[in-house]
């Protein structure tokens, strides 16, 4: 049994190593994805190009504008477009925000009346627009305190935990690690089985006395190992390049990842039992990956998904694993904090894995 599995594994590694294109796909593509996603899937909002229309031209109004432009959130854009045609500036992407300070701004404040300021943001990207508006509010209230000399009765002391700078890359990289492990192990396993069926070598194997467990283990262990290797490369890359603070326990992360593999490998085997060609296998795994990604909380928080669709996320194993990976890496979560997710994941894995195991029979249908 052990010898057969070992022979199968050796064979599988020989094949992976000889297939140069596949080798690159397995090891280089994920790194490029990691880099791309780390930089592009960035939800931080910076460099909001703003046109300031200061009709007051007072010391106070200039001070107010300066408080906006000192950070790197708002960048001043001088505009020769008259205010009435400001929408043109938005359309031509000359600026993303407009601030209008009326003539009576400083006079009103000196008389103790509210100084009204107009602020418009391009809402094409709803997410960044509301974040920009949030920044503007904070800057304004800080400015108020400074000018009026006394603090507002209630001051909100906001603070972001675990990710103090709210850097999205800290959040994205663990997500990518989870995603990589899912897609790689599922897709490679499924493709490796279907390819053998397509070229007829599976039939050849099935007329040998090889047992189903040996056959399946010999097929999935190599890809589980490749999955772990990739996960480690991605993590190392995230820590060294993106400087992700890893605060949790390594053994816990790898242990739970191992449990998670039962699900992805199970799904991979399952797909291989329902499809006939590699194209079908590819399409099926792509479909599953997309579903798993969209409902995992990788991009959008699950709480933001409509209630009815939220129920769908419960049947997505990646949803649990995503929370586990992020919890361990970012918060240093321990097993007792994660046990609902771990339990769900283990149950899911056992069901899927044993179901696929049974479906995969040694006879040709």
Partner 1 sequence: MENAVVMDRLTKRFGDFTAVDEISMQVKKGEIFGFLGANGAGKTTVIRMLCGLLLPTSGKGSVSGFDIYRDSEKIKQSIGYMSQKFSLYKDLTGQENLRFYGSVYQLSKGDLRRRIDSLAESLDLREFIDRLAGSLPVGWRQRLALAAALLHSPQILFLDEPTAGVDPVFRRRFWEILYRLAEEGTTIFVTTHYMDEAEFCQRISIMHRGRLIEMGNPQELIRKYQQITLQDLFVNLISGKSTDE
Kindly state whether residue 277 participates in binding partner 1, applying the rule CB under 8 A: no
Q: What is the edge-to-edge ordering of all strands in the sheet holding 97-101?
A: 74-76, 48-54, 97-101, 118-121
Q: Is 329 exposed, middle or buried (0-12, 13-18, 19+ CB in 10 A)?
A: buried
Give, as one character, the DSSP assignment of residue 103.
Answer: T
Residue 8 or 37: the one with the smaller Cβ distance to partner 1 is: 8
Query: 25, 100, 210, 225: which one contacts partner 1 (CB under 8 A)?
Result: 210
Minimum Å gap between C-beta 271 and partner 1 is 22
For residue 135 the two structure tokens come to 């920044």
> For residues 238 and 38, is the Cβ–Cβ distance under 8 A?
yes
Q: Judged by CB under 8 A, how many residues of this single chain contact partner 1?
A: 25
Kindly state whether residue 205 participates in binding partner 1, applying the rule CB under 8 A: yes
Kindly state whether residue 221 participates in binding partner 1, applying the rule CB under 8 A: no
Kindly state whether residue 107 participates in binding partner 1, applying the rule CB under 8 A: no
Query: 15, 69, 108, 278: which one contacts partner 1 (CB under 8 A)?
Result: 15
Window of 10-18, 100-108, 142-150, 278-286 that interacts with partner 1 by CB under 8 A: 10-18
Residue 4 or 163: the one with the smaller Cβ distance to partner 1 is: 4
- Collect all residues with Cβ–Cβ distance below 8 Å to 157 and sequence separation of at least 6: none
- Collect all residues with Cβ–Cβ distance below 8 Å to 248 and sequence separation of at least 6: 327, 328, 329, 330, 331, 332, 333
Residue 137 or 201: the one with the smaller Cβ distance to partner 1 is: 201
Residue 307 or 363: the one with the smaller Cβ distance to partner 1 is: 363
Q: Name the nearest CA neighbour of 266 among 365, 358, 362.
A: 358
Residue 54 or 198: the one with the smaller Cβ distance to partner 1 is: 198
Minimum Å gap between C-beta 204 and partner 1 is 4
Pattern of binders to partner 1 over 47-86, x per CB under 8 A?
----------------------------------------
Kindly state whether residue 18 participates in binding partner 1, applying the rule CB under 8 A: yes
Minimum Å gap between C-beta 25 and partner 1 is 15
Calpha distance 33→41 (Å, rounded): 11
Q: CA-CA distances (angstroms) from residue 52 to 74, 77, 98, 134?
A: 11, 7, 6, 18
Q: Name the nearest CA neighbour of 319 among 333, 340, 336, 334.
A: 340
Kindly state whether residue 4 participates in binding partner 1, applying the rule CB under 8 A: yes
Minimum Å gap between C-beta 208 and partner 1 is 5
Q: 10 Å Cβ neighbour count for 355?
A: 15
Kindly state whether residue 363 participates in binding partner 1, applying the rule CB under 8 A: yes
Residue 18 or 159: the one with the smaller Cβ distance to partner 1 is: 18
Residue 32 or 207: the one with the smaller Cβ distance to partner 1 is: 207
For residue 25 the two structure tokens come to 């796909």
Pattern of binders to partner 1 over 174-203, x per CB under 8 A?
-------------------------xxx-x
Minimum Å gap between C-beta 195 and partner 1 is 10
Sign of CA dihedral 22, 24, 30, 36: negative
Calpha distance 256→265 (Å, rounded): 14
Kindly state whether residue 278 participates in binding partner 1, applying the rule CB under 8 A: no
77 three-state secondary structure: coil
Q: How far is CA 325 from the centre of its chain?
A: 11
Query: 42, 110, 145, 204: which one contacts partner 1 (CB under 8 A)?
Result: 204
For residue 363 the two structure tokens come to 């006879």
Kindly state whether residue 207 participates in binding partner 1, applying the rule CB under 8 A: yes
The footprint of partner 1 (CB under 8 A) covers: 3-4, 6-8, 10-11, 14-15, 18-19, 199-201, 203-210, 362-364
């Amino acid at each position: 049994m052990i010898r057969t599995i070992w022979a199968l594994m050796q064979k599988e590694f020989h094949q992976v190593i000889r297939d140069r294109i596949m080798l690159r796909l397995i090891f280089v593509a994920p790194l490029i994805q990691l880099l791309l996603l780390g930089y592009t899937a960035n939800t931080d909002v910076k460099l909001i190009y703003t046109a300031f229309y200061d009709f007051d031209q007072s010391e106070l109004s200039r001070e107010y504008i300066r408080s906006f432009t000192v950070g790197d959130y708002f960048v001043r854009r001088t505009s020769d477009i008259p205010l009435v045609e400001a929408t043109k500036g938005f359309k031509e992407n000359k600026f993303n925000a407009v601030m209008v300070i009326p003539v009576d701004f400083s006079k009103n404040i000196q008389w103790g009346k509210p100084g009204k300021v107009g602020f418009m943001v391009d809402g094409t990207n709803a997410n960044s627009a509301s974040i920009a508006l949030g920044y503007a509010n904070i800057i304004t209230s800080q400015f108020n305190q400074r000018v009026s000399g006394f603090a507002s009765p209630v001051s909100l002391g906001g603070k972001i935990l675990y990710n103090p700078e709210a850097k999205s890359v800290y959040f994205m990289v663990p997500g990518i690690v989870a995603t990589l492990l899912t897609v790689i192990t599922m897709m490679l396993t499924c493709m490796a089985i279907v390819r053998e069926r397509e070229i007829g070598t599976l039939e050849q194997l099935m007329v040998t006395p090889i047992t189903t467990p040996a056959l399946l283990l010999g097929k999935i262990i190599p890809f589980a190992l490749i999955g772990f290797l990739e996960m480690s490369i991605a993590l190392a890359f995230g820590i060294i390049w993106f400087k992700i603070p890893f605060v949790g326990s390594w053994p816990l992360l790898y242990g739970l990842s191992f449990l998670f593999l039962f699900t992805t490998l199970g799904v991979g085997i399952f797909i291989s039992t329902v499809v006939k060609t590699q194209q079908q296998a590819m399409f099926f795994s792509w479909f599953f990956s997309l579903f798993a990604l969209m409902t995992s909380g990788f991009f959008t928080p699950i709480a933001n998904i409509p209630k009815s669709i939220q129920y769908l996320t419960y049947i997505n194993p990646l949803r649990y694993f995503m929370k586990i990976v992020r919890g361990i890496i970012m918060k240093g979560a321990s097993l007792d904090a994660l046990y609902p997710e771990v339990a769900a994941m283990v149950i899911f894995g056992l069901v899927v894995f044993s179901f696929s195991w049974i479906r995969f029979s040694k006879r040709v249908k």
